[in-house]
Amino acid sequence: MLWSQLCSFGENASSILLFLKNIEKIKIMKINSFDHPEPILFYDCSVVHPTNELKQRRAYAGAAIKKSSTDSAGAPTETCVDYKLNLRLVVHGKVSLIGSGGGGGGGEEKKEKEKETETETETETESFSSAKESDVVVTTEECWSVCSQLGGGYRAHAIASDPQHEHLRLVPWAGVAACISRTTTTTSSSSSFLSSLERNKTKENEDLYPTISGQAYCFLPLPVSTSLPIHVNGYFELSSNRRDILHGDDLQGIASSRAQWNESLLEEIAAACMLRLIENEKIRLGISPTNEQLEGYYNLFPTIGANDGDASSRRGNPWMSFVNAFYAGLAGKKLLHCRVRSGVWLVRFLIFLFSFPFFLNPAHINVNETNADLLMFLFLAISHLLFSCLLVSFSSSCCPLPAAAVLCRIQHTLSCSQSLVRKQ
C-alpha cells in the first residue's frame, strides 16, 4: 500500500538525510479531502540548526572533482570533511478515540482493513471525521558524527586516474557515520489516550551510543546490512540490481576493476575516516570517561561477528577488508583507555587484556587437564605476574591497587599455578 510505504519512509527519514548533500527537511502529510482540506502532518524530519559551515561541509561531495588532487610529487592528497549532524524526527500520531457506542464501528473498520486499498483509504478518512482525535507526538533527536574524505588512497587514485576507467567517472569519496546519542520524547495531548500518559505529560528516554544496524550508502541507503555498528557511504560501484556494492573475486574485465574500486574505497578512505571518527570520540570523552561511555565507545569498533556466515563467506565479504584495514591502522594510535594515573590513553601494544574473573581469583578458572590448556594458563599467570610487578613499581598515588594487595595477588597466582602443575 502506498500509505504504508510512505510511513516506512517517514520512520527512516533520519537515516535518509544522513549523507544527502543539500536536502535538509522531509515532511509527509496526508490530505483528508472530505472534512479536512488542510494537509495533516504525520512525519517531520529536519537537520537541526543548519549553519552555513555545516551546509558547505554537507555539500562538499557534490563539488568533488573527478580525480583526487595530487601534490607536486604526484602523490594523492586527502581532504577531510568532518562534522556533527543533529537530526530531529517528529512523528504526529493521530489516534481515534471512539466512545462506548462506537464498538460496532470499530468492528466494521477491522473488516474494512482487509479490503482493497481504495476502500481502506475511505474508511480511514471517515474515522478521522467521525471520531475525536488525540495527538501523540514522538520526537526523536539524534546526534551523528560524520567523517568523510576526498582522496588519500594510492590504489584508489591509480584506479580513478586510469584512462581506461575514465568513462566510469570515479570519485574517491567515502565516509562513515556513527550515532553518538539518541533522545526520544513522547507527549500526549489527551488525558484519555493512555493511562501512562497524562495530559501534556512528557516521557524522555536518552541512549548514549545507541546500537544501530549498519548499512551501506551511496548517498542514499542501500537495502543491504553490513553487520557494522556504523553506516558507510561512498561513491561505490553498484551491482546490476543496484541493491548492493559490486564485489567478488571471480569477476572479469571492467567488472573486476569496479569491484577493486569499491575495495580501495573501503580499505584506504573509509577505514581512515573510521579511525578519525574514533579519535574524535576519544578527544570528546577526555581522560576520565564513565564506564557507560567507554562501553559505548568500544562498541563503535567495527567487527564482523562469527555468526555472520561461514569462514569462506566472511573472506568474500567486502566489509571484512574495511575491518582489517581499520585494525591495521589502529597500531600506532592511542585509542585504548586505562585508568592508571587517573586515566590515560595507550597504544594497543602496551595493552594486555585479562578476563575479570581471572584478575579477581584465578582459582575459579576451569582448566582442562591438557598440556595446551596448562601452557595457556601458565602464560596468563606469568603475564599477570609481570603486569602486577609493573604496577608495584608505580608510586602509590598512581597504582590503582595498594602495593600489599598486589603482592598478595602475585602470591595467590603463583600458588594456583603450582597446584595445577602438581595435578598435571
DSSP-assigned states of every residue in 380-409: HHHHHHHHHHHHHHS-TTT-SS-HHHHHHH
pTM reported for the whole predicted model? 0.72
For residue 260, give every residue at least 6 positions away whose Cβ sits within 8 Å of its Cβ, in sequence order, or none.
Answer: 155, 159
pLDDT at site 274: 97
* The three grid cell numbers given for residue 74, joined into one nine-digit string: 604526484
pLDDT at site 367: 45
* Helix residue ranges, H only, 1-131: 2-11, 13-17, 52-58, 103-112, 117-130
> What number of H helices and E strands is found in the chain?
14, 11
- Residue 317, number of CB atoms within 10 A of its CB: 17
pLDDT at site 114: 43
Is the predicted pLDDT of residue 398 greater than 60, yes or no? no
Is the predicted pLDDT of residue 403 greater than 70, yes or no? no
pLDDT at site 125: 43
Is the predicted pLDDT of residue 402 greater than 50, yes or no? no
> If you average pLDDT over each of 145-159, 265-279, 315-329, which comes out highest?
265-279
pLDDT at site 281: 96
Q: What average pLDDT does the chain have?
A: 74
Rg over alpha carbons for the chain, rounded to the nearest Å, is: 28
Is the predicted pLDDT of residue 128 greater than 70, yes or no? no
pLDDT band at 276 (very low <50, low <70, confident <90, very high): very high
Of the listed ranges 1-5, 159-163, 274-278, the one predicted with least confidence: 1-5
- Residue 86, number of CB atoms within 10 A of its CB: 16
